[in-house]
Amino acid sequence: MSISAKPASPPQASPIQPVELALDSVFQFRCHKDIACFNACCRNIDLQLTSYDILRLKNCLGLTSSEFVGRYTIPFEMDAHGMPGLKMATKPGTSECIHLTEEGCGVYEDRPAACRYYALGNMAVRKKGSGEVEDAYFVVREEYCLGHEETHEQTVAEYRVEQGLDKYDEMNSHWRRLILKKRSAGPAVGSPSERSLQLFDMCSYDLDSFREFIQSPKFKEVVELPPEQEQELIDNEESLLEFAMRFLEQVLFGVNSVKVRPDAREKRIKERQEVWDQRRQQQITKHQENLQKQQYGN
Ligand code: SF4
Ligand code: SF4
């Protein structure tokens, strides 16, 4: 699953170098303000955003998550089942990033993970024969990027530190695992319901709504959340994102890590039973009315 290839490339001309790099692999590259191609990569983007990217960017711009998503992203479907994804918006009629200014990146301190990785590509791959997910790195070499001509060399690990990637990868890892898990499961778990897609959307891209959701009576009816944990989630968005991923995993894959009230399941079954009984009674009444009409001819 690639989530880090920033620039768009013409089909059949992949700029990804077919050599897998490890953390201690050395590669030659340097990007700096005085390079002739400065910001060329931001003028031709196809940039998928992660859940943590949205958190950082909306705070950087002083917006709510839904305001940020509405103004600065383009929705797309990540797979055939309609898993919602978001891409960074571009300036009208161009493929230039909406945050690119005369001076450079307008959100540099909070730029997305894909921008930090470039000119490396990062893929989460599942090891053959085991469920383990590991990172693989590749050099992405676009023709217009002159950084590859620079003599500076560094290891992948050094580049990651320089770009502040540890924090991004840590915060995005659960989200990425969930997407990979959904993809690997394929048709085995069937198509996700509309409700689970909406939940994925809210947990991934709309933390402000998720914060409201965990305070709602409906949520509290089902989930047992001690007051101090609730307050921590309200105050700390990183904790909230981490909790959102655990909640999502529980709903989508039944991995129990969020405490559900002991009576919640029985209550839900009882509610469903009541709805079912009502429907059944309506059907019986309708059937009896029809029989009467047939019998008496009106
Ligand atoms: S060197 Fe490459 S990454 Fe740096 S500005 Fe130029 S095109 Fe972008
Ligand atoms: S967010 Fe910044 S670094 Fe990333 S593509 Fe846009 S302008 Fe370039």
Ligand 2 in reach of 116 Cβ (< 6 A) = no
- Side-chain half-sphere CA neighbours of 80 within 13 A: 5
Shortest-distance Cα residue to atom 7 of ligand 1: 145
Ligand 1 in reach of 105 Cβ (< 6 A) = no
Flag whether pLDDT at 1 surpasses 60.
no
Check residue 11 and give its pLDDT.
46
Check residue 135 and give its pLDDT.
83
Contact 141, 148 (CB under 8 A): yes
Distance CA 121, CA 214 (A): 36
With vertex at residue 135, the alpha carbon angle to CA 134 and CA 139, rounded to the nearest 5 degrees, is 155
Mean pLDDT of 15-40: 91
Atom of ligand 1 nearest to the CA of 29: 1
Ligand 2 in reach of 56 Cβ (< 6 A) = no
Q: What are the sequence ranges of the domains in the chain? A: 26-183
192-222: string of b/e by CB count within 10 Å (b at 16+)? beeebbebbbbbbbbbbebbebbeeeeeeee
Check residue 229 and give its pLDDT.
96
Shortest-distance Cα residue to atom 8 of ligand 2: 42
CA 258 / ligand 2 centre spacing (Å): 36
| Alpha helices, H only, the chain | 51-60, 65-72, 113-117, 156-162, 165-185, 194-205, 207-214, 217-222, 227-235, 237-253, 264-296
Q: Which residues contact 72 (CB under 8 A, 6 or more apart)?
A: 57, 61, 88, 89, 98, 99
Query: Which of 73, 99, 103, 144 maximizes ligand 2 atoms within 8 Å of its Cβ, making it the mutation to test the pocket?
Result: 99
Contact 175, 51 (CB under 8 A): yes
Check residue 118 and give its pLDDT.
94
Counted residue by residue, the chain has a size of 298
Hey, how many other C-beta atoms are within 10 angstroms of the C-beta on 223?
17
Distance CA 277, CA 55 (A): 44
Task: Residue 43: name the closest of 7, 10, 87 by CA.
Answer: 7
Cα–Cα separations (whole angstroms), residue 263 to 151, 160, 206, 298:
65, 47, 29, 49
Query: Which of 6, 9, 39 maximizes ligand 1 atoms within 8 Å of its Cβ, making it the mutation to test the pocket?
Result: 39
84-118 residue pLDDT tens: 999 999 999 999 999 999 999 999 999 999 999 99
| Through-space distance between the first and last CA atoms of the chain, rounded to whole angstroms | 64
Which pair of tokens denotes residue 88?
Answer: 């960074």
Q: Which ligand is nearest to the CA of 8?
A: 2
Atom of ligand 1 nearest to the CA of 146: 1
With vertex at residue 28, the alpha carbon angle to CA 26 and CA 29, rounded to the nearest 5 degrees, is 125
Ligand 1 in reach of 145 Cβ (< 6 A) = yes
5-21 residue pLDDT tens: 455 544 446 787 778 89
Give the predicted TM-score (pTM) of the model.
Answer: 0.82
Peptide bond into 119 cis (omega under 30): yes
Ligand 2 in reach of 21 Cβ (< 6 A) = no
